[in-house]
Structure 1
Amino acid sequence: MSSMSSTADTLDSTAAGPTPPAPAYDVATIMGALYGDGILGHKGAFPREWVQRMGEDIEALFQDALKRPGGAVGRGPKRYYVEIHPEHLRGFVDLVTHPWVVAVCEAVLGPDYKIVEIGFDVPGPGAQDQPWHRDFPAPEETTVGRRLNSLAFNVTAVDTTEDMGPFEVAPGTQWDGSEHLEHEMFPPKSFYPRYQERAQRKMPQMGDISARSALTIHRGTANHSQKARPVLVLGVDAPDARNAERHDLQFSRAYYDALPETLKPHLACRVVDELEPIVQGHTIEGLMMGEA
């Protein structure tokens, strides 16, 4: 009897085999959040000192963009968007190689994901409520195929407070149809009660990162404070998405050559001898609520 028990124990142990290592970030959690609510956060991804440097770079780039025609695109009164050259942001490589960012991209977009955009939003004092919107028309891969093929990552440069015009999102609305949306992005006001009923107001602090589907209906709210709320934006596509056409990711040859070799296949970019001014190709018509 004891011999049979010993054999059974041995067989069970052999059948089980070695225990696989646990992934650093759970794929099911990532997929569940982005296919469910459409947004996922990771708190404390970076130290505050790193974020302070990012904020310094954003401020310098913002002041430069304001001096150039077309350098900053208005997204409504006192609200701007600026697309930038990655090498002008000291923490670019840290961000795009962060294990959580990589894990989210691979889980949702697959191993051949492409980084297509980096820039920042600046809702200044006096910025108003934006209309509820998605950032671009939903592709057929999402409306018919029920698959997300792009993501937007956000990193706040400041500790968000209630009076600074926090970001609001209506969870689950990345799957809403586009047939009643103006420009396939802007719902009629008759839809607003549904979004307001679902709305979640996000209050990220310095060091936090979020990932979201830019198709999830969202808006920036009114900034009643005396402080701007700059937010870094990183856009990433699956291989079949076409958002790169709206952007112009550029690297100087010397900077590109020094990048990690593992990163280069994930960049949908031009490598140039001299960086050229970025002509913003992604305007969001309904957000042009008067002069910025």
Structure 2
Amino acid sequence: MDQQTATQTPFVPEGADDETRAIVEALYGDGITARKGAFTPDWADRMREDIETALAEALSRPDGAVGRGPNRYYVEIHPEQMRGFVDLVDHPWVRQVCTAVLGEDYEIVELGFDVPGEGAMNQPWHRDFPMPDETRRTGRLTSLAFNLTGVDTAEDMGPFEVAPGTQFDDSEEFTHGMFPPKSMYPRFEERAVRKYPQRGDVSARSALTIHRGTKNESAKSRPVLVLGVDAPGAGNAEHHDMAVTRGYWEQLPQRVRDHMRCPVVDELTPITQKHTIEGLVMGEA
């Protein structure tokens, strides 16, 4: 197995303060970091309401949602479908993390959510997309995923499980570059940490860090918002269909518009989900 370990030198910006240095070192070390209480529980409740509305709409049409295993869905949405979008992308901590890891010209490329419902099973260990050539070649992280829970996470709700320090694991045995074979599972299981975020918390992670959703043994769903951000040239925007209307664009603060790379359109088109390979493999879990 050709496997790197989490001993990559963090790309800490020159002149970074202690907090910024700690953020970068966490993302190059464990592959995940978080800010507790970045938003209020009421803000998170409104986010959950918007997720539930968007999920119902997505499930009402073909390919509106992609299955990631039994009773587990992913849906990509437009910014206008989330009342708190500007609050999120303009939050000081979110901007600090993006700038520190991805540079001043970071790009907001994805907005969506995962919903593991009652009966959702353990996912296979995976990363969200194949390792980019630049990361493999230089060790630099070129994208981040921010997650925000819509509920206070409890043990029986299928918590997110991450294997810290696996974002640089690399092997030709990874199916589709994303799914390690079961023979490698002991490495992830011995490192596995379950996360129990509460409403208002926000985490940032490298989507390359090996992780999975676990079995939901409750009668509740556990909706989680996903914000995807790229370094310039990372190329993930081409895999997403996020757009904004002209009226919405004109109301956005300039420092938000500076990081948006999506089309500005007269009318929004519902997004057809594209995660076909991932959906198929997740369905086998």
TM-score of the two chains, using structure 1 as the length reference: 0.90
4+ long deviations beyond 6 Å: none
State the AA in 1 paired with 2:23. Answer: I
Match of 2:127 among 134, 138, 141: 134
SS of 1:211's partner is: strand
Query: Structure 2 matches for 1:1-292, cutoff 5 A?
Result: 26-283=19-276, 284=278, 285-289=280-284
**Distance (whole Å) between structure 2 residues aligned to residue 52 and residue 239 of structure 1:** 33
Q: Which runs of 5+ in 2 are unaligned?
A: 1-15
Opposite residue 223 of structure 1, the aligned amino acid is N
**1:203-244: CA deviation from partner (whole Å, max 9, x where unpaired):** 000000000000000000000000000000000000020111
**How many angstroms does 1:246 deviate by?**
0.8
Tell me how far 1:286 sits from its aligned partner: 1.7
Query: Which structure: larger Rg?
Result: 1
Q: Distance in 1 between matches of 2:189 and 2:54?
A: 34
User: Does the aligned pair in 2 maintain the 1:75–1:289 contact within 8 Å?
Assistant: no
2:204 is paired with a residue of what secondary structure? strand
Partner letter of residue 263 of structure 1?
A: V
> Aligned with 1:26: secondary structure?
helix
Counterpart contact for 2:244–2:264, Cα < 8 Å: yes
Structure 1: which 5+ runs fail to align? Answer: 1-21
Q: Which amino acid aligns with 2:221?
A: A
Matched AA of 1:288: G
Residue-pair matches, total: 269
In structure 1, distance between residues paired with 2:127 and 2:40: 30
2:66 and 2:275 in contact (8 A); partners too: no
Confirm or deny: 8 A CA contact 1:134 1:214 kept in the other structure: yes
Alpha-carbon offset, residue 289 of structure 1: 2.8
Contact 1:137–1:178 (8 Å) recurs in 2: no
- Measured against aligned partners, the alpha-carbon deviations of 1:69-117 in whole angstroms (never above 9, x if no partner) come to 1111100100000001111100000000000000000000000000000
Query: Over aligned residues, Cα RMSD in angstroms?
Result: 1.4
Q: Deviations over 1:133-168 (max 9, x none)?
A: 000000111111100000000000000000000000
> 1:178, CA displacement in angstroms?
3.3
Please give the secondary structure, in 1, of the residue aligned with 2:219. Answer: coil
